[in-house]
């Protein structure tokens, strides 16, 4: 983990979410699924978690950016933090699923997927703008069909809706359909893995895990199966 100073170069509205183009040392740039904690030196008591959405010269594009941020603002950054996505090099059919919010936190996987000549389908009912032409967009109603096609899936969901996601996949008998699957669990991570305060605790098969350091990306197979369904390897 590193600490350093960055700067907001530009603010961008994309996918209905404020993004910030940030200039910072390369060692601070998080991988897709990882996060940074950013403090702007204002009266804000808690730092803001920033997720990697795309690459940018001398830095990266991050989301979500607070309304109070302005171009030129200096940021105090700590990270990268947590475990990010692990995109298998063998994956050729990739499904990205934004269950309840902007797909921005999954965007960082698109460049990696296309680099390894994979087909990419984004499944979401939310706004998705300025995607590469190679990326197909499908509604959540088509999730079952797309998962049957994919050999890797990445989900983005809040901790509160995680049980609903698992139940939905179980009902559709999709828990074992994908060879590999990972879930970014969105939850407050105020301490960034330092205090072990338990605010970000997530229930897994092996007990409580802290999203701030054990996640925020987990294997789908880490989670208990919904009642009445079996869960294969993620």
List, in sequence order, every residue forming a beta bridge with 217; answer none if it has no partner.
184
One-character DSSP codes across 111-171: HHHHHTT-EEEEEESS---S--TTEEEE-GGGHHHHHHH-SEEEEEEETTTHHHHHHHHHH
Residues 62 and 125 in one domain: no
The CB density around residue 113, as the number of other CB atoms within 10 Å, is: 22
Name the strand (E) or helix (H) holding 4.
strand 2-14
Using the 3D structure, point to which of 46, 81, 116 is the last residue of a domain: 81
| Model confidence band, residue 178 (pLDDT cutoffs 50, 70, 90) | low
Q: How much is the pLDDT for 121? A: 98
List, in sequence order, every residue forming a beta bridge with 63; answer none if it has no partner.
51
Q: How much is the pLDDT for 228? A: 45
Instruction: Provide the residue range defining the domain that includes 29.
Output: 2-81
Q: How much is the pLDDT for 171? A: 63
Q: How much is the pLDDT for 189? A: 87
SS3 state at 198:
coil
Give pLDDT tens digits for 91-108: 999 999 999 889 999 999
Residues 45 and 133 in one domain: no
Using the 3D structure, point to which of 54, 81, 108 is the last residue of a domain: 81
How far apart CA 169 and CA 173 sit, in angstroms, is 6
Give pLDDT tens digits for 138-154: 999 999 899 989 999 99
Residues 142 and 164 in one domain: yes
| Model confidence band, residue 198 (pLDDT cutoffs 50, 70, 90) | confident
Residues 102 and 186 in one domain: yes
- Which pair of tokens denotes residue 230? 């079996």
Q: How much is the pLDDT for 229? A: 46
Domain count, the chain: 2
Residues 51 and 126 in one domain: no
Residues 69 and 23 in one domain: yes
What's the whole-number mean pLDDT along residues 216-226?
Answer: 88
**CATH code of residue 47:** 2.40.30.10
Give pLDDT tens digits for 17-61: 899 999 999 999 999 999 999 988 755 667 899 999 999 999 999
SS3 state at 57:
coil
Residues 111 and 168 in one domain: yes
């Amino acid at each position: 983990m590193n600490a350093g100073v960055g700067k907001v170069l530009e603010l961008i509205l994309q996918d209905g979410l404020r993004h910030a183009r940030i200039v910072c040392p390369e060692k601070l740039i998080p991988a897709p699924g990882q996060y940074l904690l950013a403090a702007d030196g204002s009266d804000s008591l808690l730092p803001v978690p920033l997720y990697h959405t795309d690459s940018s010269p001398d830095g990266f594009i991050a989301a979500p950016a607070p309304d109070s941020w302005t171009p030129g603002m200096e940021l105090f950054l700590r990270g990268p933090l947590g475990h990010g996505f692990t995109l298998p090099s063998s994956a050729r059919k990739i499904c990205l699923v934004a269950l309840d919010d902007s797909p921005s936190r999954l965007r960082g996987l698109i460049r990696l997927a296309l680099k390894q000549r994979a087909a990419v389908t984004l499944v979401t009912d939310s706004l998705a703008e300025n995607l590469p032409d190679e990326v197909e967009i499908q509604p959540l109603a088509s999730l079952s069909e797309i998962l049957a096609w994919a050999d890797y899936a990445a989900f983005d969901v809040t901790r509160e809706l995680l049980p609903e996601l698992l139940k939905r996949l179980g009902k559709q008998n999709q828990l074992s359909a994908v060879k590999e699957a990972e879930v970014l669990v969105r939850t407050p991570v105020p301490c960034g893995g330092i205090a072990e305060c338990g605010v970000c605790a997530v229930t897994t098969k092996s007990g409580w895990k802290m999203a701030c350091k054990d996640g925020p990306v987990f294997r789908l197979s880490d989670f208990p199966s919904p009642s009445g369904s079996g869960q294969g390897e993620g």
